[in-house]
Amino acid sequence: MPKKRTDDTYYTLYTVKEREGKDNIWTRIGAAFPHKNGFGFNIRLNALPTDGDIVALDQAHYGNSK
């Protein structure tokens, strides 16, 4: 059985546009929060990535550095 999450960790969701020879462009598109039962996440998207890829960064580790 999966381990139940008990912390308030959430993930900020980004889409990343990679550019050759330049910095990548990180666009915040939403957030993921632990489900109230502790198993899984609720995901709230404000936009959809055009390439289908989403990067989730743990805010307890990364903060709002992007």
Is 0.85 topped by the overall pTM? no
Mean pLDDT calculated for residue range 31-59? 89
- Give the 3-state secondary structure of 43-55: EEECCCCCCCCCE
State the Cα–Cα distance between residues 21 and 31, nearest whole angstrom.
29
Each residue of 21-36: pLDDT tens digit?
999 999 999 999 888 8
